[in-house]
Amino acid sequence: MVEAIKNRPMLADRSRWGGAASALLYIALACMPQAQAAETHEFKLDNGMRVIVQEDHRAPVVVSQVWYRAGSVDEVNGKTGVAHVLEHMMFKGTKTVPPGQFSRLIAAAGGRENAFTGTDYTAYYQQLEKSKLPLAIRLEADRMANLELTEEEFSKEIKVVMEERRWRTDDKPQGMLNEQFNAVAYHAHPYGRPIVGWMNDLENMTVADAREWYQTWYTPSNAILVVVGDVDPQAVYKLAKQHFGKIKPHALPPRKPQVEPKQIGERRIVVKVPAELPYVRLGFHVPVLQDADKDWEPYALEILAGVLDGHASARLNQNLVRQKQLAVEVGAGYDLIQRGQVGLFELEGTPSEGRTVAELEEALLNEVERIKQEGVTEEELQRVKAQVIAADVYQRDSMFYQAMQIGRLETTGFSWRTLKHYPARLQAVTPQQVQDVARKYLVKDGMTVAILDPQPIDPNAKPKGKPYAH
């Protein structure tokens, strides 16, 4: 499946994107789940594959994930969507496991499994009773080395992917807008292309394209096995060595730097599609984390997003929804972790009945301007920090979430050890730094605006696509 949200927080899947009472902070850290106190173990196989194991002995369950450092950011024009297509094809069988058998074996073992493709990575996961971990590792190693890509299976699955694109994008007004928004915000960087791919590329894709992607990027030296659960780290390493260790690696092609030229003026786009409500989305080019120990601006931007959004009393919701009743929904978002080394700070909203997107856009920008001129208070900052960190701590109670944190950090070029320093880095952010990043980056010359202009809905129209799950 295509990763549902391209820009997401590094650590916490908050109610919107942001977050934040000093007292809550200390309570949250004091109540950190036992899982986080467990030691994390890291191994490396002779073929270059890395294995990261985090113990969590609260239940006899294990989450196993294989992450490949290959996503839509690595694609080229004319072959967009191939990373996601290959994700689908990974369930279509090997020499010893027929098409569909992978999923049936995991289900028969009482587990669940799936996969997802993002801009920076592709990942495959299973969640099982701990004694079934050898099954998951054996099956994953088999399809890493022995996937059979046939014309027959490809011709069927590419149609499924096109249906998924229709369902997720063509049938969804905001899906259409988001795709156009990214294409306008990024003129040169591959983040401007949809993860699912342009329809024309999918229509012209061949099994040879999928095979080339598999043979290029699916090698143990470009993969990470992440295991979280009620396991013995040495036993997991032994299993990984037994099944993955015998796979021969191959050299990866050089990854050339891809940068986005500096934006030198405001960009606007209007998307006219059948929809019930109008919508506006604003994006500003901002830096992302490059040095987790030295950078401060990304952490300040993360806090800025929390000041604007993330809880009931945050500025956007309090001022634009509750007080002025300008909007039925508002949001702010920023993701400081991106392998592509570029990022956007985003604002969004749906105007209330009788109000216009122009009014809402002006109101969103006015809230930013207030921070530029007046800054934020220390008390407000502490509330935000507390909620951001508390949300992260509580979500780490999930084994799957723990594995997701580790896998995403590692495939985007950071160490899982970054997790240990994240609360301290947020705590170090000052009110002046929040005001400084707002003034420096949230400027109109670096802004992209996308407006959804709703067109009449045909009551007899049928959906163009249908949902899909492996």
Q: Is the pLDDT of residue 424 over 70?
A: yes
Instruction: For the chain, give every residue range classified as CATH 3.30.830.10.
Output: 22-243, 267-455
Q: Is the pLDDT of residue 15 over 60?
A: no
Q: Is the pLDDT of residue 466 over 80?
A: no
Residues 66-70 have a mean pLDDT of 98
- Dihedral of the alpha carbons of 336, 348, 404, 391, in degrees to the nearest 10: 90
Q: Is the pLDDT of residue 339 over 80?
A: yes
| pTM over the 0.85 mark | yes
Helices and strands, counts by H and E, the chain: 17, 11
Q: Cα–Cα distance between 408 and 337 in angstroms, integer?
A: 9
From the list 378, 371, 393, 374, the residue with the least C-alpha distance to 309 is: 371
**Residue corresponding to tokens 């050890």:** 417
Contact 314/21 with Cβ under 8 angstroms? no
Q: For 194-203, 239-248, 251-260, 357-366, which range has the lowest pLDDT when averaged over its residues? A: 251-260
233-243 vs 133-146: helix crossing angle, rounded to 10: 30
Q: Cα–Cα distance between 314 and 123 in angstroms, integer?
A: 34
Residue 469 has a pLDDT of 58
Supply the mean pLDDT for the chain: 90
Q: Is the pLDDT of residue 174 over 60?
A: yes
Contact 182/176 with Cβ under 8 angstroms? no
Question: Is CATH 3.30.2130.30 the right assignment for the domain spanning 22-243?
Answer: no
Contact 336/414 with Cβ under 8 angstroms? no
Residue 16 has a pLDDT of 27
Q: Could you count the other beta carbons within 10 Å of the beta carbon of residue 206?
A: 14
Look at 356 and 32; give whichever has higher pLDDT: 356
Please state, for a pLDDT cut of 70, what percent of the chain lies above it: 90
Look at 305 and 310; give whichever has higher pLDDT: 305
Residues 414-424 have a mean pLDDT of 89
Look at 256 and 28; give whichever has higher pLDDT: 256
Q: Is the pLDDT of residue 390 over 90?
A: no
Q: Is the pLDDT of residue 180 over 80?
A: yes
Q: Could you say which of 3, 87, 157, 348 is catalytic?
A: 87
Residue 84 has a pLDDT of 98
The model's confidence at residue 24, banded by pLDDT at 50, 70 and 90, is: very low
Q: Cα–Cα distance between 63 and 112 in angstroms, integer?
A: 10
Question: Which residues, at least 6 apart from 420, have a Cβ–Cβ distance to it below 8 Å?
Answer: none
Q: Is the pLDDT of residue 46 over 60?
A: yes
User: In terms of CATH architecture, what is 267-455?
Assistant: 2-Layer Sandwich (3.30)
Q: 40 forms bridges with which residues in the sheet?
A: 54
The model's confidence at residue 38, banded by pLDDT at 50, 70 and 90, is: low
Q: Is the pLDDT of residue 388 over 90?
A: no
Contact 187/261 with Cβ under 8 angstroms? yes
Q: Is the pLDDT of residue 455 over 60?
A: yes
Q: Is the pLDDT of residue 117 over 50?
A: yes
Kindly tell me the sign of the dihedral angle through the C-alpha atoms of 316, 321, 323, 324.
positive
**What Rg, from alpha-carbon coordinates, does the chain have?**
23
Q: What is the 3-state secondary structure (H, E, C) of 294-339?
A: CCCHHHHHHHHHHHHCCCCCCHHHHHHHHHCCCEEEEEEEECCCCC
Residue 29 has a pLDDT of 36
The model's confidence at residue 19, banded by pLDDT at 50, 70 and 90, is: very low
Residue 33 has a pLDDT of 43
Residues 163-174 have a mean pLDDT of 94
Residue 127 has a pLDDT of 98
Residue 420 has a pLDDT of 84
Residue 465 has a pLDDT of 65
Please state, for a pLDDT cut of 90, what percent of the chain lies above it: 81
Q: Is 346 an annotated catalytic residue?
A: no
From the list 61, 391, 86, the residue with the least C-alpha distance to 210 is: 86
Q: What is residue 431's DSSP assignment?
A: H
Q: Is the pLDDT of residue 360 over 80?
A: yes
Q: 228 forms bridges with which residues in the sheet?
A: 54, 63
Residues 48-58 have a mean pLDDT of 97
Residues 22-38 have a mean pLDDT of 39
Look at 220 and 461; give whichever has higher pLDDT: 220
Q: What is residue 4's DSSP assignment?
A: S
